[in-house]
Amino acid sequence: MGHLEILGGPALSGTVRVGGAKNAALPIMAAALLAPQPVELRGVPRLGDVDTLSRLLESLGVRVSRQDDRARLETVDPTPVKADYELVRRMRASFCVLGPLLARRGSAVVALPGGCAIGDRPVDLHLSGLRALGAELTTEHGYVVARAPRLVGATMDLTGPRGPSVTATANVMSAAVLAEGLTTVAGAAVEPEVVDLGRFLVALGAKIEGLGTPTLRIHGPATLGGAAHAIIPDRIEAATLLLAAAITGGDVRVEGVRPEHLGKVLAVLKAIGRRVETGSNWARVRGGDRPKAIDVTARPYPGVPSDLQAQWMAVLSLADGRGVVRDMVFPGRFMHVAELKRLGARIEVVNGAAHVTGVERLGGADVAATDLRAGAALALAGLAAHGRTNVFGLEHLDRGYERLDEKLAALGARVRRVPLA
Ligand code: EPZ
């Protein structure tokens, strides 16, 4: 995999286009298991995670053909029901096959996703939601073993200890499409990626009301067919690129994004002193003064996403003053703090909050990504640091960002991918 070598300094400028949303493409590809006819997707990003899920779906009897940002998925063998540990362990989102597999094939054996660098990743809400629909689920030897000769619509509340669950909502909504009768889900996630999945299910023939609100009503069983669907743009990639402009004092216009999906991120960019302009499918950030220090708390949508918390911490590392960063979704998501400190950031984690005291300058160093968003944060810090920064752990970055180094270089960054010696 190698590493990224970044020579910090240049203020980024120019226009860049974002790709399709990873966290919409993954649950939508998993939900293709429900479709008795072929599914045609556009805007599928070329990412490691998409490759992994494609392999998992192939092992489950779905032929996946990809060409550029298009994917065609067709079930050719509806008998396999086991999602193997070897594939699921690589990517937690693989767990999204549980609901569709169970609903369409009547049983499923899916490896429990492991923990990861951002903290504990329980699946209790997934299991309780599917049980409410009448599924029998046990956990045996690291697998969820599920049976559901028939699913029956139910009323449930999926609210978790830290708010809604994105992929639990995805699993339960997908399964409820084939349940007999009305399913009402309170505490549903409202992230744009969940709405996009819901729209895909409706395109297949499902009847879903309340998409984008915390209460979903799913009328089943639906008679499903095939569908053609365009994946929404990746709001996390778009915001990461806007933050690359903010941290280097540049002027960048990101195209193909839906500004309304950026939620509070644009307000926070203005709060640190950046000029923000938006159009129907673009957003532009400019302004070169030193960022103002503010507090940033990651929350469920439409709050600042947890997937941007590390990137915001990188920006605040250079701010004029002190800012406190909290993550209400993954409270322990601070593995990037130690790496940012190697670049000279002044950050202390006290009682689950990261206190960032902005410094005048960061200095280049060797750093390692612990998860894909931490990798992005370290790349951003390297863009502004004086000297050379080597970001190791590219396998994380490539899981969730399509050619990030090339997009940054096209905006004037001095970054190159150094292959493993
Ligand atoms: C999705 O993960 C995203 N992944 C994550 O993005 C994102 O950080 C997260 O949502 C929050 O927005 C995909 O969509 C593939 P959750 P998910 O279930 O669904 C707790 C990235 O970088 N919880 O919404 O796994 C959980 O511990 C990834 O692209 C339970 O308690 O997250 C957390 O505190 C990282 N029980 C909170 O809910 C459960 O059964 C939100 O988790 C499930 C979750």
Q: Has residue 86 got a pLDDT over 90?
A: no
Nearest atom within ligand 1 for CA of residue 123: 40
Q: Which residue, by CA, sits nearest to atom 26 of ligand 1? A: 121
| pLDDT for res 234 | 98
Q: What is the pLDDT of residues 68-79, one digit of tens each?
A: 999 999 999 999
Q: How confident is the model at residue 160 (pLDDT cuts 50, 70, 90)?
A: very high
| pLDDT for res 115 | 62
Nearest atom within ligand 1 for CA of residue 96: 15
Ligand 1 residue neighbourhood (C-beta within 6 Å): 22-23, 26, 92-93, 118, 120-126, 160-162, 165-168, 305-307, 329-330, 372-373, 400
Nearest atom within ligand 1 for CA of residue 128: 40
CA–centroid distance, 289 to ligand 1, in Å, is 35
184 touches 215 (CB < 8 A): yes
CA–centroid distance, 305 to ligand 1, in Å, is 11
- The CA-based angle 52-58-64, given to 5 degrees, is 85
Rounded to whole angstroms, the Cα distance separating 223 from 231 reads: 23
CA dihedral 377, 378, 382, 385 (to 10 degrees): 90
Q: What is the pLDDT of residues 333-387, one digit of tens each?
A: 999 999 999 999 999 999 999 999 999 999 999 999 999 999 999 999 999 999 9
Q: Has residue 88 got a pLDDT over 90?
A: no
| pLDDT for res 1 | 72
| pLDDT for res 241 | 98
Q: Which residue, by CA, sits nearest to atom 27 of ligand 1? A: 121
Most ligand 1 atoms within 8 A of CB, residue of 90, 125, 166, 190 to mutate: 166
Q: Is 96 a catalytic residue?
A: no
Question: Mean pLDDT, to the nearest integer, of 242-254?
Answer: 98
Question: For the chain, how long is the longest CA-to-CA vector?
Answer: 63
Q: Has residue 51 got a pLDDT over 80?
A: yes
Q: How many CA atoms lie within 13 A of 417 on its CB side?
A: 14
Q: Which residue, by CA, sits nearest to atom 35 of ligand 1? A: 307
**354 closest CA partner among 371, 373, 335:** 335
Q: How many CA atoms lie within 13 A of 186 on its CB side?
A: 3
Most ligand 1 atoms within 8 A of CB, residue of 165, 197, 309, 372 to mutate: 165
Q: Has residue 211 got a pLDDT over 90?
A: yes
| pLDDT for res 402 | 94
Q: Angle, nearest 10°, between helix axes 166-176 and 22-31?
A: 30
CA dihedral 333, 336, 337, 341 (to 10 degrees): 180
**148 closest CA partner among 140, 158, 132, 136:** 136
Among 2, 5, 55, 116, the one annotated catalytic: 116
Q: How confident is the model at residue 263 (pLDDT cuts 50, 70, 90)?
A: confident
Question: Mean pLDDT, to the nearest integer, of 6-13?
Answer: 97
Q: Which residue, by CA, sits nearest to atom 6 of ligand 1? A: 307
Q: Has residue 90 got a pLDDT over 90?
A: no
Q: How confident is the model at residue 288 (pLDDT cuts 50, 70, 90)?
A: confident
On average, the pLDDT of the chain sits at 96
Rounded to whole angstroms, the Cα distance separating 24 from 197 reads: 6
Q: What is the pLDDT of residues 392-402, one digit of tens each?
A: 999 899 999 99
The residue written with tokens 């193909």 in the block is 256
The 3-state secondary structure of the chain, one letter per residue = CCEEEEECCCCCEEEEECCECHHHHHHHHHHHHHCCCCEEEECCCCCHHHHHHHHHHHHCCEEEEEECCEEEEEECCCCCCEECHHHHCCCHHHHHHHHHHHHHHCEEEEECCCCECCECCCCHHHHHHHHHCCCEEEEECCEEEEECCCCECCEEECCECCECCHHHHHHHHHHHCCCEEEEEEECCCCCHHHHHHHHHHHHHCCEEECCCCCCEEEEECCCCCCEEEECCECHHHHHHHHHHHHHHCCEEEEECCCHHHHCCHHHHHHHCCCEEEECCCEEEEECCCCCECCCEEECCCCCECHHHHHHHHHHHCCCECEEEEEECCCCCCCCHHHHHHHCCCEEEEECCEEEEECCCCCECCEEECCCHHHHHHHHHHHHHCECEEEEECHHHHHHHCCCHHHHHHHCCCEEEEECCC
Nearest atom within ligand 1 for CA of residue 193: 14
Question: Mean pLDDT, to the nearest integer, of 113-127?
Answer: 83
Domains and CATH numbers, the chain: 3-19+233-418 (3.65.10.10), 22-230 (3.65.10.10)
Tokens describing residue 30 = 């998993």
Distances (CA, A) of 280 to 43, 254, 312: 18, 12, 25
| pLDDT for res 114 | 67
Q: Which residue, by CA, sits nearest to atom 7 of ligand 1? A: 307
